[in-house]
Structure formats: C-alpha cells, structure tokens
C-alpha cells in the first residue's frame, strides 16, 4: 500500500512539473511573439516578405525577388495559411512556439524508445526545452525551427527503424522516416546534414533484412517516391547564385578567420557576451548556443549576469552529455554510434562553416540544431548515474528558470520596435 502511494505521489509530481515546464515555455513563446517586431531576428524581413507575398498574391514569389525567396516554400505556405485563418499578419509569429514543443515531443519519443524510463525521458526533454538557442526562435519569423523539427523527426524515426524487431511495424516507421525527409526538403536544405545518419540506418536495415525481398522492395519504393516528391523543392534554389548573392558568398569565403579566433579567451575577463562571435570561437559558439550572443532578443549590453550564468552552465552540461554518450556505449552500441554520427556530423559542419566563412552567422549552431538529439540523449543517459542525477536536475532547472527570466521580452526592448 505504501509503495503504491509513493508511486502515485511520484507520478503526480512528475506530471505537475512537466505541465509547469510546458505551460511556462509556451507562455514565454506566446508572450515574446506578441511583442517581437518581425523585422528583427535572422533575416526577419526576408522571411516575412515571403509569407506576405503568398498571403497577398496567392502564389510563390520568384526565387530571386528577395534574399530569402530561394528557400523551399513549406514554412511560408503554413505562415500564409495562418494569416488567412486568423486574419492577422501577427499570427504567423505564433507558429514557432508550437513547433518548438513538437521538437521537444518528437525527441521525447526517441528518448522513450531507448531508455523506457520516465525520469530519463523527461529530463532529456527538459534539456532541450531549457536550451536558450532554441528559445530564441519562437518569437521570430523563420523556417529554422520547422527545419529542425523534420530533421529530428527523421532521426527519431531512424531510431525506431534500427531497434524494431516486428516486421509489420517496420513499414510504418520507414514511411514516417521518408515522409519527414520529404517535408524537410520542402522546408530547408539543411536536411542534407542527416545524410550520414540515414546511411547508417540504410546499412543496418539492409544487413538485417537482406533476405527479405518484400521489405527491401518496400524500402526501395519509398526511397524512390521520396526522391520524386523532394526534387521539385530544389527548383526554389535554382537561382541561389544570382549575382548579388554570389558576390556576397565569394567575399565571405575569401575572408578567413584569424588563427587566434580558435583559441583566444581574452573576452572572458571582460564578460563580453555580445560581440565575441566576431573574434573568439569559445565565446561565439557557446555564447550563441547557450545564450543570446547575437542580440536577437535581449538588449545589447556588454555585461549581463544571466547571460554569463547560462554560458557557464553550458560548459557544465556539455561534458555531462558527452559522459552520458560514453556511458551508453556499453548498453547499446548501435544507438550510441548513431548518436555519435549525428553529433559529429553537426559539429563537423559547424567547424567547416567557421573555417569557410567569417560571417557572424557561422558562429551560431542554427544550421546544425539536429545536435540537440544526441545532446539530450547524453543528458538522459547521464541521469542513470545516481551520483549525478540530482546535480543534472538542479543545473537544468536553474538553466530553464534563468533562460525564461532572461528572455522574457520587456516592452522597452529594442526588438519591440
């Protein structure tokens, strides 16, 4: 009887805390979207132009008519649809609040599939919900979060494919995976970053079912259908190299970062939280991922205690995640290798992008946000260590609370104008 009461009490606490985190996060997104001026953010005016054009004209703009119009149209069609339904231009800004929680939810499905443990799954989801970089985007007009959703959806479907033993369910998971890839192509070309991970899924699938002609045929058919449905989206980027854009790209490639960008730490005693992305990798990368290092939401100030705390917590959480990945190797080598491939692909592209360009946007992990899945997997795995469990919960709770407090937009902030 006592054990049953303890179990009920424990579940009630979990449900309460989970609902509190969800409601707080959604409230943060809705509040920020209501005040945020769509012209801010990363190329906000270009994204908004795309949506507004579809809304006004009922058709897609020419790929070269504005900076962002080379993008595939799915996100912009959804934005224009929201405007038609709710009758206001502002409605498109609320989309990403719900996309964020779709990202967290789909990641939770993957975590549950691997761990089958409520605590580990929920903490893994909290680790994503508390990431400052993801919480920058709900207020913005941008296709980055929707792209991340399809990337993570395909990756999580891959987990189900390589762990499923029931042949009848495999087809369903393959359909889920290929549908996510197609939707990803129609959202943003960043979906190419999951190719190495998908190749691993393909190799394991073929090895496991090499004698099952029916399943191999289904796989081949779904692959070909996906290619056919994805190809038209590439027509949107056919004019990516129009003259002005090409010149900008050439300038960026020519301008290599100085060598000290990769090791200088002189910004730390200055607590320079907002301009380090221009001259220091340590400040740029993690200030961007763990804080708002690009002044996308928060006021532009040289020093901010909350920003510095978030950045510091990031340097604690990242090693904990790596430890979790190391710890999981002995339990499930396939899943661990899968997560390592995802993580190294994202980090590898991040390093390549920084090497190829000195543009400020290369110092943020926006285009490689699929890395949140192995990050969350590592945190959830580290929760299996009884000595670390409570430390991780405390750190993530602090990170989430400070992030919400730090990102809660005030009417006087520059991003409201």
pLDDT score of 241 more than 50? no
pLDDT score of 236 more than 60? yes
pLDDT score of 227 more than 50? yes
The count of domains in the chain is 1
Q: Are 374 and 339 in contact (CB under 8 A)?
A: yes
pLDDT at 37: 93
Q: Is residue 7 part of a domain?
A: no
Q: Is residue 14 part of a domain?
A: no
pLDDT at 246: 43
pLDDT at 410: 94
Q: What's the residue count for the chain?
A: 417
pLDDT at 362: 79
Average pLDDT over residues 52-59: 93
Average pLDDT over residues 381-397: 94
Q: Is residue 389 part of a domain?
A: yes
| DSSP states along 147-161 | HHHHHHHHHHHHHHH
Give the distance from CA 207 to its chain's centroid. 31
Q: Is residue 6 part of a domain?
A: no
pLDDT score of 300 more than 90? no
Q: Is residue 2 part of a domain?
A: no
pLDDT tens string 8-29: 566 788 788 888 999 999 999 9
pLDDT score of 255 more than 80? no
Q: Residue 120 burial by CB count (10 A; 0-12/13-18/19+): exposed, middle or buried?
A: buried
Q: What is the average pLDDT value for the chain, to the nearest integer?
A: 88
pLDDT at 2: 55
pLDDT class for 63, splitting at 50, 70, 90?
confident
Spatial separation of the C-alpha atoms in residues 365 and 290, rounded to whole Å: 10
Over pLDDT 70: what percentage of the chain? Answer: 91
Q: Is residue 18 part of a domain?
A: no
pLDDT score of 7 more than 70? no
Chain position carrying tokens 């543009």: 359
pLDDT at 247: 46
pLDDT score of 291 more than 50? yes
In this structure, of 118-122, 274-278, 359-363, the range with the lowest mean pLDDT score is 359-363
Give the HSE-up count for residue 56: Cα atoms under 13 Å, Cβ half-sphere: 8
pLDDT tens string 96-146: 999 999 999 999 999 999 999 999 999 999 999 999 989 999 999 999 999
Average pLDDT over residues 50-72: 88
Average pLDDT over residues 264-268: 87
Helix/strand/coil percent split, the chain, to 5: 75, 0, 25
pLDDT class for 274, splitting at 50, 70, 90?
confident
pLDDT score of 150 more than 80? yes
Q: Are 157 and 197 in contact (CB under 8 A)?
A: no
pLDDT at 243: 39
pLDDT at 363: 78
Q: Is residue 5 part of a domain?
A: no
pLDDT score of 398 more than 90? yes
pLDDT at 131: 94
Spatial separation of the C-alpha atoms in residues 75 and 81, rounded to whole Å: 10
Give the dihedral of Cα atoms 34, 38, 42, 48; nearest 10 deg: 130
The count of other CB atoms within 10 Å of the CB of residue 165 is 7
Question: Which domain does 108 fall in, by range?
Answer: 25-416
| DSSP states along 27-69 | HHHHHHHHH--TTSSSSHHHHHHHHHHHHHHSSPPPTTSSTTT
pLDDT class for 3, splitting at 50, 70, 90?
low
**For 357-385, where are the alpha helices, taking DSSP H only?**
372-382
pLDDT score of 240 more than 60? no
Q: Is residue 50 part of a domain?
A: yes
Chain position carrying tokens 């953010």: 41
pLDDT score of 59 more than 70? yes
pLDDT class for 287, splitting at 50, 70, 90?
low
pLDDT tens string 369-385: 999 999 999 999 999 99
In this structure, of 76-90, 299-313, 338-352, the range with the lowest mean pLDDT score is 299-313
């Amino acid at each position: 009887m006592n054990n049953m009461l303890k179990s009920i009490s424990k579940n009630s606490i979990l449900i309460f805390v989970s609902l509190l985190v969800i409601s707080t996060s959604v409230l943060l997104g809705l509040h920020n979207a209501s005040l945020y001026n769509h012209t801010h953010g990363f190329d906000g005016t270009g994204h908004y132009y795309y949506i507004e054009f579809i809304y006004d004209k009922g058709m897609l703009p020419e790929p070269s008519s504005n900076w962002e119009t080379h993008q595939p149209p799915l996100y912009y069609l959804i934005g224009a649809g929201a405007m038609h339904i709710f009758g206001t231009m502002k409605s498109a800004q609320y989309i990403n609040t719900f996309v964020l929680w779709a990202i967290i939810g789909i990641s939770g499905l993957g975590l549950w599939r691997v761990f089958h443990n409520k605590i580990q799954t929920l903490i893994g989801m909290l680790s994503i919900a508390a990431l400052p970089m993801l919480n920058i985007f709900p207020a913005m007009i941008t296709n980055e979060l929707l792209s991340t959703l399809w990337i993570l959806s395909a990756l999580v479907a891959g987990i189900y494919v390589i762990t499923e033993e029931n042949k009848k369910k495999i087809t369903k998971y393959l359909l889920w995976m290929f549908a996510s890839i197609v939707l990803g192509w129609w959202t943003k070309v960043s979906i190419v970053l999951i190719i190495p991970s998908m190749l691993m899924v393909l190799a394991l699938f073929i090895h496991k079912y090499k004698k099952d002609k029916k399943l191999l045929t289904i796989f081949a058919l779904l692959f070909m259908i996906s290619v056919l449905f994805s190809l038209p989206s590439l027509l949107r980027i056919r004019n990516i190299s129009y003259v002005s854009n090409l010149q900008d790209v050439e300038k960026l490639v020519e301008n290599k970062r100085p060598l000290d960008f990769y090791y200088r730490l002189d910004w730390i005693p200055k607590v320079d939280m907002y301009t380090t992305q221009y001259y220091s990798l340590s400040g740029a990368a993690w200030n961007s991922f763990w804080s708002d290092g690009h002044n996308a939401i928060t006021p532009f100030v040289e020093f901010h205690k909350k920003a510095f705390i978030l950045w510091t917590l990031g340097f604690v959480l990242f090693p904990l995640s790596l430890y979790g990945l190391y710890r999981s190797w002995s339990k499930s080598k396939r899943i661990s290798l899968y997560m390592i491939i995802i993580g190294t692909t994202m980090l590898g592209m991040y390093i390549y992008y920084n090497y190829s360009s000195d543009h400020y946007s290369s110092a943020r992990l926006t285009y490689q946000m699929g890395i949140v899945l192995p990050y969350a997997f590592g945190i959830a795995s580290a929760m299996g260590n009884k000595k670390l469990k409570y430390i991780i919960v405390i750190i993530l709770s602090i990170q989430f609370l400070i992030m919400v407090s730090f990102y809660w937009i005030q009417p006087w902030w520059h991003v409201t104008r």
